[in-house]
Structure 1
Amino acid sequence: MKVKKQMLSLKAYEPGKSIDNVKKELGLTKIVNLASNENPFGCSKKIQEALQAISNYARYPDSRAEDLREKVANHLGVNENQLLFSSGLDEMIQMISRSLLFPETNVVMASLTFPQFRHHAVIEDAEIRDVPLKEGRHDLEGMQIAVDEQTSLVWICNPNNPTGTYVNETELRSFLEKIPNDTIVVLDEAYYEYVTAEDYPDTMKLISEYDNLLVLRTFSKGYGLAAFRIGYAIGHEELMRKLDIGRLPFNTSRFAQIAAQAALTDKEFVKESSERNFEGLQQFYAFCKEYKVPFYPSQGNFIYIEPDKKPEELFQYLIQRGYIVRPIKDGIRITVGTKEDNEGLIKLLKEFLVNGTSNIKLTS
């Protein structure tokens, strides 16, 4: 078998444990999944209504998603040719990496950020320049120093996954001024709908000022359409035409396109999801402060904590009691759930910190 040598160093993406698998494995009847940053409040009721109108399943979907394209362009105040749609942002990251990276290039990113940035850079055999986070935030000064003539891509996850921290308008603008115009700066704004910071960048305005800025957004998080797998990029028209060459034909389903259009019409659902998420974060902040657990204030629908005890032991303690979270490096990333889900998890976190790690049966 002749396989790219760089593939030998990688593993396939491992999602968080599914609810059904955990039920079977541990013999539990109730599972709360707070590992995948899904919207715990579901999606707009308008989605099901819109999907009922779909018929003739034998036909391919609109490859360019023209109706959705028009609605998203109006929603953002951009030109329709500035948009590119994908099967979730994972496919968009793949398209960007496939189009812009090759062995002679390098890519600059944070050392603790969304792992798919690194994954696809390795596949394309590009050099990876990791810049450590500074107090959980992107070190833009360090990243700018790492950029040179061979830098094709800079990834900035904003808010950052897993820490939930963000780059503000002043910081981003200053960074963009120092980056060569032939280096593409990609802002992954998957959690944009949850952001409450007043100084968060107005990236639609910045796109009109910087030809090398590319912004990614998705319907998976705030809109609650993770099952449909639909995301999009916004950038300069010339860049989008080039990236479109690497897009698979009919890459977004008709169901996803219709669902996304319906989701855009229900602003109240997104607003309510964001408000309830903010309230949920306050629950976790109060716990962390009371028990002196290090954490980062989050602009996403998750919180990253670093308890003194080993993350894997805490993960096992929680999953055996029906709560799935995500262990990452030295900490735990917890999706903000419903008020009741948060209360249940916080109760277990307190028990773990007080009682220690006894009675933990390690699972595979």
Structure 2
Amino acid sequence: MSCDFVALSNPGVQALQPYQAGKPAEELERELGIRDIVKLASNENPLGPSSAAISAVQSVLSGLTRYPDSNGYYLKQALSQRFNLAANQLTLGNGSNDLLELVARAFLREGVEAVYSEYAFIVYPLVVKACGATGVRVPARDYGHDLDAMADAVTANTRVIFIANPNNPTGTCLTSQAFKRFMARIPEQVLVVLDEAYSEYTDQADTPDGLALTATYNNLIVTRTFSKAYGLAALRVGFAVANPVVTDLLNRVRQPFNVSSVAQAAAMAALADREYLARTVSLNRQGLKQMQAGLVALEVSYIPSVANFITIDCEQDALLVYQALLEQGVIVRPLGVYAMPQHLRVTLGTETENQRFLDALKKVIA
């Protein structure tokens, strides 16, 4: 091939590596011929989707020949009523990843900066670099966000700050007071993206409610998803909340029909199924206790988490442990891409799935 297509691509894209998703169970089955696989790699809901969501999906299948409502009127109405928001504050996304990219496309370009934490979600630097902007990676504090250092990193060129709360992949959580002190230091022209993909899981008493705080801070954008606690990862639907001017700008770069009619119907049903969400949260809290007790018994250290996953320290090359667990039919997530080569992130599953992991880990470390 004589043409250098890499040289023709945007400079920011040239420096990127593709996002590495968790290994699918089907792939492990093809590779090793293993059956009865437990996948604890992608922070999915082990309950499966709400039965109400499944019924909603079935009810709209006959309309697959038609384009979805591009503006998502009814889903926005449901979100507005559930969270006491105005419809003109809402942007719908093909999962919350899509919304992070919309923020980058709307506000980042060559010559400006975006700030994010050392161990924060890997998509932040990806969307920043793809837009040609400069990423400013701030060292973490106790595997979480050092808000003082992040505020200190703001310059005249800063346009966006990305914060995950709870944080992925470490499971740490900010307090409401700390976040408000941070926002008081941030100039209004700097947008703060508060990524609350795992907010439903935390039981920390003093956790910031990003949706409510958008009424206080004009420069706050909050993103949430239906992929985790609502069990709709395959359908890809999320939403962002911001002031109406920012929301209008995000919708200018949003692709039409980015959320399917199937996803919209499922999201509305899942949002209304409060009992399902309560079961999800209850199962997760039981699983967190089970996992922590099991790791203590195995003398394996971990980062305290308030999310639906827990990150463990293997005290050796985690890829070796990861590969050995694969041979036991258990898929977890190595964190070398996060510059955490000794750590594995483990999704909390059902009681049986959690025990499968703990039993497999015991064999591996022995």
- The one-letter amino acid paired with 1:59 is R
Partner of 1:343: 355
Q: Distance in 2 between matches of 1:76 and 1:206?
A: 12
Identify which range, 288-297 or 274-283, moves more after superposition. 288-297
The answer to whether structure 1 residue 104 and structure 2 residue 111 are counterparts is yes
CA distances 1:269-323 after superposition (whole Å, capped 9, x unpaired): 1111111101111112112323332212211110011121220011011001100
- The one-letter amino acid paired with 1:349 is L
- The aligned runs of 1:75-154 (5 Å cut-off) are 75-154=82-161
Please report the TM-score for the alignment, with normalisation by the length of structure 2.
0.95
The answer to whether structure 1 residue 10 and structure 2 residue 40 are counterparts is no
SS at match of 2:303: coil
SS at match of 1:337: coil
Q: Distance in 2 between matches of 1:283 and 1:244?
A: 43
Q: Distance in 2 between matches of 1:289 and 1:58?
A: 53
Q: Distance in 2 between matches of 1:138 and 1:293?
A: 24
SS at match of 2:141: coil
- The aligned runs of 1:90-239 (5 Å cut-off) are 90-239=97-246
Partner of 1:40: 46
CA distances 1:175-216 after superposition (whole Å, capped 9, x unpaired): 000000000000000011111111111222211111001100
Work out the percentage of aligned pairs sharing the same amino acid. 36
Partner of 1:322: 329
SS at match of 2:302: coil
- The one-letter amino acid paired with 1:346 is L
RMSD: 1.0
Asked if the contact 2:56/2:269 (under 8 Å) is kept, the reply is: yes
Q: Distance in 2 between matches of 1:52 and 1:17?
A: 28
Q: Distance in 1 between matches of 2:57 and 2:135?
A: 42
Q: Distance in 1 between matches of 2:87 and 2:12?
A: 37
The answer to whether structure 1 residue 333 and structure 2 residue 345 are counterparts is yes
Partner of 2:310: 303
- Report the count of equivalent residues: 354
SS at match of 1:52: helix
- The one-letter amino acid paired with 1:83 is L
- Segments of 5+ residues of structure 2 without an aligned counterpart are none
- The one-letter amino acid paired with 2:235 is F
Q: Distance in 2 between matches of 1:57 and 1:135?
A: 48
The answer to whether structure 1 residue 247 and structure 2 residue 254 are counterparts is yes
Q: 1:10 offset after TM fit, Å?
A: 1.3
Asked if the contact 2:106/2:253 (under 8 Å) is kept, the reply is: yes
- The one-letter amino acid paired with 1:30 is D
Q: 1:241 offset after TM fit, Å?
A: 0.6
CA distances 1:241-286 after superposition (whole Å, capped 9, x unpaired): 1111000011110000000011111101111111110111111211
SS at match of 1:303: strand
Asked if the contact 2:113/2:135 (under 8 Å) is kept, the reply is: yes
SS at match of 1:285: helix
